[in-house]
């Protein structure tokens, strides 16, 4: 058996949670491979709305195994709040959720360090979510981290040493803080975590594959926020690309099967950083309003723009995408014309590839297509798609070189249409 990977191709917020929830019935296992509670995967079904931050999106589908992999960073306090809310709504977790011993813990001082570092940058802020993600990954790479498995081995000693090191840094930054409430909630989260099944996730996943079980690997954020391949330095601190599933779960590269790449029919970005196709006019505001473009975790308003096919082609390439999934098609239902960025103009020269740096001097070059001017939210099959929408899909497939297998026409699980079903 091979694992399939599902990930975002833009700057995050593509709708991964909904798609995992839709695809999960086909899989025995859903495993999250990177990121932390800075990610917010929103799922809507049966009149309810849920936002998952650290827990895999397969948690709602029967008795699937859900795994938080070693590439994830976990905040016990936020995890406790998220898990208790899910259990209160009738979704049992303890028998469904396994947590890697090698996943790193976000400490209370990591969150304070995150705020201190951002404050020190002034106008050069990256725009983090303030959840302590960056400092936690920094400690991981510098071999100073505290891991889930440490809860079972000399935990007090390891936590005290990490806390003391962080407090020394905060002192050097002259940053004032109060740790009392954060630490209290965090230690309560540690006790809560002990109720869950800690695993060597790399062994578990490979044994499940040996037993013929099907596994879906779930990514967080988006490709353009990848620490290596994204719009650096305005990126997250982990590898959000397909290769992150290998390092974040212990899966060998030759075990990767289908790679599902998710993108919106337009483009959004949260926080600071370059965004070549961003719109600063009424059209951008209209897309934001119709798409309800506010962060599931942060509540921050998302910047909106037309789809960027230069960046999207790059994402398809570095991930080896085999199937595309387009979200929020219905948001563009009322537009007379739809634009797509097909190239960049840099210093007067037109290029169709994603360059080293897009922070300044990049002007989008657009193709324009007719809008479909049709309410698609009630449609249930591709046979109902208007001609103009089919033309948009064909245009995107020709540009990207990969078929668009699934189209979302609304936020609910039921508003999802599979294409090429005859294959």
Active site residues: 13, 41, 140
Can you say how many angstroms the Cα of residue 170 is from the centroid of all Cα atoms in its chain? 30
Angle value at C-alpha 267, between 264 and 270, nearest 5 degrees: 115
236 is in an annotated binding site: yes
39 is in an annotated binding site: yes
Angle value at C-alpha 39, between 37 and 40, nearest 5 degrees: 105
18 is in an annotated binding site: yes
Beta-carbon contacts of residue 122 (< 8 Å; ≥ 6 apart): none
180 is in an annotated binding site: no
Token code pair at residue 151: 């809860």
277 is in an annotated binding site: no
301 is in an annotated binding site: yes
Map tokens 């001609």 to a residue.
387
248 is in an annotated binding site: no
375 is in an annotated binding site: no
331 is in an annotated binding site: no
Map tokens 């975002």 to a residue.
8
Query: Which is it for strands 349-351 and 197-199: parallel, antiparallel or unpaired?
Result: unpaired
- The three-state secondary structure class of 201 is helix
Q: At how many degrees (to 10) do helices 108-121 and 180-193 cross?
A: 140
254 is in an annotated binding site: no
Whether the CB-CB separation of 315 and 349 falls below 8 Å is answered with no
17 is in an annotated binding site: yes
328 is in an annotated binding site: yes
296 is in an annotated binding site: yes
3-state secondary structure string across 117-170: HHHHHHHHCCCCCCCCHHHHHHHHHCCCCCEHHHHHCCHHHHHHHHHHHHHHHH
409 is in an annotated binding site: yes
273 is in an annotated binding site: no
CA distances from 246 to 71, 148, 254, 261 (A): 9, 20, 10, 16
- The three-state secondary structure class of 218 is strand
41 is in an annotated binding site: yes
CA dihedral (316, 70, 181, 138) in degrees, to 10, reads -70
14 is in an annotated binding site: yes
Q: Which of 312, 278, 287 is nearest to 398 (CA)?
A: 312
Residue 405 CB neighbours (<10 A): 18
Map tokens 């940053």 to a residue.
175
281 is in an annotated binding site: no
315 is in an annotated binding site: no
42 is in an annotated binding site: yes
361 is in an annotated binding site: no
- Biggest CA–CA distance in the chain, Å, is 65
- The three-state secondary structure class of 109 is helix
Q: Which of 178, 217, 232 is nearest to 11 (CA)?
A: 232
**Could you tell me which residues are annotated as the binding site for IMP?**
13-16, 38-41, 129, 143, 221, 236, 300
**Could you tell me which residues are annotated as the binding site for Mg(2+)?**
13, 40
**Could you tell me which residues are annotated as the binding site for GTP?**
12-18, 40-42, 302, 328-330, 408-410
**Could you tell me which residues are annotated as the binding site for substrate?**
296-302
**Could you tell me which residues are annotated as the binding site?**
12-18, 38-42, 129, 143, 221, 236, 296-302, 328-330, 408-410
């Amino acid at each position: 058996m091979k694992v399939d990977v599902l990930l975002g191709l833009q700057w995050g917020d593509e709708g991964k949670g909904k798609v995992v929830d839709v695809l999960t019935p086909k899989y025995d296992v859903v495993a999250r491979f990177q990121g932390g509670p800075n990610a917010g995967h929103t799922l809507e079904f049966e009149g309810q709305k849920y936002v998952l931050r650290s827990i895999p999106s397969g948690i709602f589908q029967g008795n699937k195994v859900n795994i938080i992999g070693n590439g994830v960073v976990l905040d016990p306090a936020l995890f406790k709040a998220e898990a208790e809310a899910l259990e209160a709504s009738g979704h049992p977790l303890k028998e469904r959720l396994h947590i890697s011993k090698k996943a790193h813990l976000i400490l209370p001082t990591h969150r304070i360090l995150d705020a201190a570092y951002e404050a020190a940058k002034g106008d050069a802020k990256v725009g983090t979510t303030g959840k302590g993600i960056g400092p936690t990954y920094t400690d991981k790479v510098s071999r100073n981290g505290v891991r889930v498995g440490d809860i079972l081995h000399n935990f007090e000693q390891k936590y005290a040493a990490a806390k003391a090191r962080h407090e020394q840094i905060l002192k050097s930054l002259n940053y004032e803080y109060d740790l009392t409430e954060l630490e209290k909630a965090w230690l309560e989260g540690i006790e809560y975590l002990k109720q869950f099944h800690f695993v060597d996730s790399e062994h578990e996943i490979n044994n499940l594959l040996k037993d013929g079980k099907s596994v879906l690997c779930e990514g967080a954020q988006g490709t353009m926020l990848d620490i290596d391949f994204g719009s650096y330095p305005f990126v997250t601190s982990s590898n959000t690309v397909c290769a992150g599933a290998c390092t974040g779960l212990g899966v060998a590269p030759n075990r990767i099967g289908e790679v599902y790449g998710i993108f919106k029919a337009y483009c959004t970005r949260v926080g600071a950083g370059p965004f070549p196709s961003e719109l600063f006019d009424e059209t951008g505001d209209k897309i934001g309003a119709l798409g309800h473009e506010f962060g599931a975790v942060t509540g921050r308003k998302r910047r909106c723009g037309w789809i960027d096919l230069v960046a999207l082609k790059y994402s398809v390439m570095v991930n080896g995408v085999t199937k595309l999934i387009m979200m929020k098609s219905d948001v563009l239902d009322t537009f007379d014309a739809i634009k797509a960025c097909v190239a960049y103009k840099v210093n007067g020269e037109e290029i169709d590839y994603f360059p080293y740096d897009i922070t300044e001097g990049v002007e989008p070059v657009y193709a324009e297509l007719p809008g479909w001017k049709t309410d698609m939210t009630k449609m249930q099959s591709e046979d109902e798609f208007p001609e103009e929408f089919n033309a948009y899909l064909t245009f995107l497939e020709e540009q990207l070189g990969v078929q668009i297998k699934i189209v979302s026409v609304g936020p609910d699980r039921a508003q999802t249409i599979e294409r090429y079903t005859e294959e």
